């Protein structure tokens, strides 16, 4: 019997995996090193008693969306405050919630991508933008960043005008480079995207770690959405909860492709409760930003190149990668031998010899730095 064949376009798609190795210091998937606040866990246990297990959850997740709108409206957007008609009064109708921001990205591709449409990405960037687009049968146009991972804006605008992508993905801070985009870049891209009736998606999975956010540019008459997640700053990667902030007309379209009751009652309750711990979340971000500065300083004494990070991870490249193509693999393996796991990006396009380390606790970062100094000696 011949086996049923999947869609031909799936032949092009490889799975997306990060090695799950049993080590004592895990710094490979950009999670928070700390569990959520104890008060949150206790409150969630109590909230579980209120769940009506025999009933479907609130299909529109209205309470959660309203609370996210409230919290995100309160962000201090100093840099963009002068931009005019910025939306500082979001409502539930500006928010879409899903099982991780990956499901948000997938819903965007289902709604706006698909056959005979294309998405544009700026490489290197988050691999799932390309992956999800392909799974949804969407053509992917990839524009390379320069050797310092900066965008060539003229080239980007020309490509948008020539290729007319339905979606342009901009990741800021960018995974895996950790570099943030600025207001000018987002403004120029938005203008280009709108001139071809496209949508600009700014993926801010690491937005809270950066000095600048595109959130305040979201408005009803702009083709701009921002995606965020509970997986990093909210210490809740296990929860699988992400969201999008955007104009109501985008959310209306996403609701057509999301499955009925896609967000379960426990996730909705947990997401709602987590937002009561804003101060604790901000404290964790501050701690990680301080750790980031410490690791950046320590890196300066090591034989490696690093790129400016505004996220909870740092991309680096041992100098010896210049002459030895397998140096990235060697460093990764030697770190694993010392029970430290980082992300090996050394075979990814445009990232020859590079590794990416997630910032952990001070103790984890110390262990990582000690192991790395030994390995690079």
Q: Which stretch binds ligand PMP (CB under 6 A): 98-106, 150-158, 193-201, 262-270?
A: 98-106
End-to-end CA gap in the chain: 57
Q: Which residue of 126, 149, 209, 332 would you call a contact of ligand PMP, by CB under 6 A?
A: 126
Distance CA 67, CA 69 (A): 5
Which CB sits closer to ligand PMP, 95 or 371?
95
Q: Which residue of 123, 130, 203, 280 would you call a contact of ligand PMP, by CB under 6 A?
A: 203
Q: Is 102 in the site for ligand PMP (CB under 6 A)?
A: yes
Q: Which residue of 205, 210, 215, 335 would you call a contact of ligand PMP, by CB under 6 A?
A: 205
Site string for ligand PMP, 279-298 (x = CB under 6 A): --------------------
Q: Which stretch binds ligand PMP (CB under 6 A): 8-16, 100-108, 144-152, 294-302?
A: 100-108
* φ and ψ at residue 318, rounded to 5 degrees: -60, 140
Q: How far is CA 165 from the centre of its chain?
A: 21
Task: Name the residue whose CB lies closest to ligand PMP.
Answer: 100
* φ and ψ at residue 341, rounded to 5 degrees: -115, 120
- C-alpha separations of 27 from 23, 42, 102, 321, 340 in Å: 10, 27, 20, 21, 7
Q: Which residue of 37, 100, 271, 318 would you call a contact of ligand PMP, by CB under 6 A?
A: 100
Site string for ligand PMP, 172-201 (x = CB under 6 A): ---x--------------------------
Which CB sits closer to ligand PMP, 139 or 204?
204
Q: How far is the CB of 171 from ligand PMP (least distance, A)?
A: 5
Site string for ligand PMP, 23-52 (x = CB under 6 A): -------x----------------------
Q: How far is the CB of 27 from ligand PMP (least distance, A)?
A: 14
Q: Is 169 in the site for ligand PMP (CB under 6 A)?
A: no
Neighbours of 249 (CB within 10 A): 11
Which CB sits closer to ligand PMP, 240 or 371?
240
- C-alpha separations of 164 from 77, 196, 200 in Å: 31, 6, 12
H/E segment holding residue 324: none
- C-alpha separations of 334 from 330, 340, 345 in Å: 6, 9, 15
Q: Which stretch binds ligand PMP (CB under 6 A): 94-102, 207-215, 268-276, 336-344?
A: 94-102
- C-alpha separations of 122 from 83, 141, 253, 350 in Å: 25, 9, 25, 11
Q: Which residue of 106, 138, 231, 267 would you call a contact of ligand PMP, by CB under 6 A?
A: 231
Q: Is 321 in the site for ligand PMP (CB under 6 A)?
A: no
Structure tokens belonging to residue 94: 């500006």
Distance CA 13, CA 41 (A): 38
β-bridge mates for residue 224, sequence order: 200
Which CB sits closer to ligand PMP, 108 or 375?
108
Q: Which residue of 33, 242, 328, 353 would you call a contact of ligand PMP, by CB under 6 A?
A: 242
Which CB sits closer to ligand PMP, 25 or 205?
205
Q: How many residues bind ligand PMP (CB under 6 A)?
A: 13
Q: Are 234 and 36 in contact, with CB atoms under 8 Å apart? A: yes
Distance CA 202, CA 342 (A): 26
Q: Which stretch binds ligand PMP (CB under 6 A): 4-12, 96-104, 316-324, 367-375?
A: 96-104
Q: DSSP string spanning 98-161?
A: ESHHHHHHHHHHHHH-STT-EEEEEES--HHHHHHHHHTT-EEEEEE--TTS---HHHHHHHHH
Q: Which residues bind ligand PMP (CB under 6 A)?
A: 30, 100-102, 126, 171, 175, 203, 205, 229, 231, 237, 242
């Amino acid at each position: 019997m011949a086996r049923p064949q999947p869609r031909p376009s799936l032949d092009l798609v490889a799975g997306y995996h990060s090695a799950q190795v049993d080590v004592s210091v895990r710094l490979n998937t950009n999670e928070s090193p700390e569990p959520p606040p104890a008060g949150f866990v206790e409150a969630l246990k109590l909230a579980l008693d209120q769940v009506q297990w025999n009933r479907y959850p609130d299909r529109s997740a209205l309470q959660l969306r309203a609370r996210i709108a409230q919290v995100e409206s309160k962000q201090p957007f100093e840099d963009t405050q002068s931009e005019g008609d910025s939306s500082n009064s979001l409502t539930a109708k500006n928010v879409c919630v899903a099982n991780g921001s990956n499901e948000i990205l997938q819903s965007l591709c289902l709604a706006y991508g698909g056959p005979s449409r294309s998405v544009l990405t700026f490489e290197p960037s988050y691999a799932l933008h390309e992956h999800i687009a392909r799974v949804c049968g969407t053509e992917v146009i990839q524009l390379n960043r320069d050797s310092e991972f900066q965008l060539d804006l003229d080239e980007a605008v020309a490509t948008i005008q020539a290729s007319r992508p339905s979606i342009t993905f901009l990741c800021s801070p960018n995974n895996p480079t950790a570099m943030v985009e600025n207001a000018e870049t987002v403004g120029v891209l938005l203008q280009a995207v709108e001139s071809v009736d496209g949508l600009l998606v700014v993926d801010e999975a690491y937005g809270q770690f950066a000095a600048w956010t595109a959130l305040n540019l979201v408005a009803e008459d702009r083709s701009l959405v921002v995606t965020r997640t509970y997986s990093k700053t909210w210490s809740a990667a296990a929860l699988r909860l992400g969201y999008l902030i955007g104009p109501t007309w985008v959310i209306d379209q996403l609701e057509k492709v999301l499955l009925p009751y896609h967000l379960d009652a426990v996730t909705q309750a947990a997401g709602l409760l987590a937002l009561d711990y804003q101060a604790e979340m901000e404290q964790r971000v501050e701690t990680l930003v301080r750790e980031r500065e410490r690791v950046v300083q320590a890196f300066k004494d090591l034989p490696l190149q690093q790129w400016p990070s505004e996220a909870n991870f740092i991309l680096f490249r041992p100098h010896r990668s210049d002459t030895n193509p397998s140096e990235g693999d060697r460093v990764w393996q030697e770190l694993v031998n010392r029970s430290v796991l980082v992300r090996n990006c050394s075979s990814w396009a445009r990232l020859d010899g590079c590794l990416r380390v997630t910032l952990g606790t001070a103790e984890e970062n110390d262990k990582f730095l000690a192991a790395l100094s030994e390995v690079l000696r």
